[in-house]
Structure 1
């Protein structure tokens, strides 16, 4: 059995969608909420693995099970743009890794496929907050500004759907959302179909946004801004897209969104580097035990409340 392993956000889903439209393959889908990135352990536990495709999850966080699969002589194709660490060299291993802060996995797969499904790649790039790169590709393939706005909204909604502590927080489980999206030849077909996941996510997003309007920053300086969200499903769902929105509104500032976890002892953290200086988010988050990500956007799964001041100091000092 072939296994398709992918991040449950827009970039991971749309990267796999492009690949499977170009190269149809019967496979078992392995994914989860956006922050569930240690996915290869789930594959290593299986004994029916004939091949693995891994998209948009950090190699650094999956290196041990990756080596296990390589040692078992399982062919692995790996495409990503997060912190990679050591990249294995083996005859049964193919890696497309690019840490450029202006690219994402959907764009890497688009290049790999020679632009066969470039309109879908634009959706993935918009969803990963790569607006400039998405605009450039949209311009290249002749998508009008009006149509771009829909693709941007769709990418944002798919990305929004990936955020949550558990699958129960999400409107549509990522594996199911991938299956639903695969039924559409073009992203624009979702707009025409009133029963499409676009409308389900649009409604949920609008409801969650109403909660955001009442938020004020808990920390605000010339270089960084921090928001704290309560332990609520809406807060977990909106946290990542809210961080992206803040980054787009104030491109010279770094932003962090801290969402209180269930036991009230720590936060889930989303960090966005300034759009005009897309670097450092991964370094800041990796300084904490459960942190990681990429240069422009990163996160911490469990930041103890007692270390909040230390985190804010690192955020502030890095960009000062």
Structure 2
């Protein structure tokens, strides 16, 4: 199901997730372990309020993965009032989780977990390879490597899972579906044919073209010098172009991995004025990104957060706050 469609009432099972690697791989684990027909509602990375697109009737079952409960709370309350049963897996901050007998939450914060890993724990590792792909895509490389090694996954297979996860994640970024290689809902259709993601990487042609496009976009981004930097942090300003819309999150992750002791902010100009912002706290002190972005109307997690609409007039104020931020003290 495409992100633009609205789910009609009367669907028995609806899976709702972010269209990045973490969201798609979390849902995929559940559906591989609990096979049943379900309608998928997903979207691009910054399409967060996806529960607004769902209507429910008594007895409907909803699985929600990798979506901020704060951004979806009003719609969640409506769906619960309509009689839906909801399982909610997420790793974003969730203030004031509504108590309800039909709501079962699996929410855990922290810089060393993601929704795919929460699902992996809930399922007892039954679909571990897909959990690893989701974790790699969410830039939890060290965590995924350690879990893969403990699970007996060799270095070559780890590299293939990382390529897959990063490709899925990269594909979620864009202003609309014209920017991305394949809409996330259609990508999920391909992923869901494979119980083993390593088989997918051998038999499908989707991964290498995505990886090649990702690398080409990163080469474009590498030509952009830092707008501002000091010994603790760097800020990059990207123009508004299809490649920059796709690469903003990927570039932030690459910068974080290359310089783990530094914080990084990647800003992309938008046509209407202002910026979209991706912030990464230092990997060595992964906390504080959410608190910083909240000050400018954004949201996110301790180690990775963003701002959907930073006015141009606030650019200097943001850079000043970013340069003065104290990382790793919360989250």
Fold equivalence (TM over 0.5): yes
| Alignment check: 8 A CA contact 1:11 1:159 kept | yes
- Residue 6 of structure 1 is matched in structure 2 by 17
SS at match of 1:319: coil
Structure 1: where are the runs of 5+ without partners?
none
SS at match of 2:186: helix
Q: d(CA) in 1 for partners of 2:183 and 2:236?
A: 27
Provide runs of 4+ in structure 1 moved above 3 Å.
46-49
Q: d(CA) in 2 for partners of 1:12 and 1:191?
A: 19
- Residue 8 of structure 2 is matched in structure 1 by none
- Residue 73 of structure 2 is matched in structure 1 by 63
Residue 244 (structure 2) pairs with residue 204 (structure 1) = no
Deviations 1:155-188 (A, max 9, x none): 1111100011112111111111111001122111
Residue 53 (structure 2) pairs with residue 42 (structure 1) = yes
| Alignment check: 8 A CA contact 1:43 1:49 kept | no
- Residue 270 of structure 1 is matched in structure 2 by 278
Offset of 1:260 from its aligned partner? Answer: 0.7
Deviations 1:208-228 (A, max 9, x none): 123122111001011110001
Q: d(CA) in 2 for partners of 1:287 and 1:74?
A: 34
- Aligned equivalent of 2:318, options 302, 311, 314: 311
- Aligned equivalent of 1:183, options 168, 179, 193: 193
Offset of 1:47 from its aligned partner? Answer: 5.8
| Alignment check: 8 A CA contact 2:58 2:83 kept | no
| Alignment check: 8 A CA contact 2:221 2:238 kept | no
SS at match of 1:4: strand
Offset of 1:49 from its aligned partner? Answer: 7.8
SS at match of 2:266: strand
Offset of 1:5 from its aligned partner? Answer: 0.5
Count of residue correspondences: 316
Offset of 1:50 from its aligned partner? Answer: 1.4
- Aligned equivalent of 1:136, options 146, 162, 170: 146
Structure 2: where are the runs of 5+ without partners?
1-10
SS at match of 1:96: strand
- Aligned equivalent of 1:298, options 301, 305, 323: 305
Deviations 1:54-96 (A, max 9, x none): 1001001111111111122210000000111111211111000
Q: d(CA) in 1 for partners of 2:63 and 2:16?
A: 6
| Alignment check: 8 A CA contact 2:42 2:50 kept | yes
Q: d(CA) in 2 for partners of 1:224 and 1:282?
A: 16
| Alignment check: 8 A CA contact 1:223 1:319 kept | no
Q: d(CA) in 2 for partners of 1:67 and 1:51?
A: 14
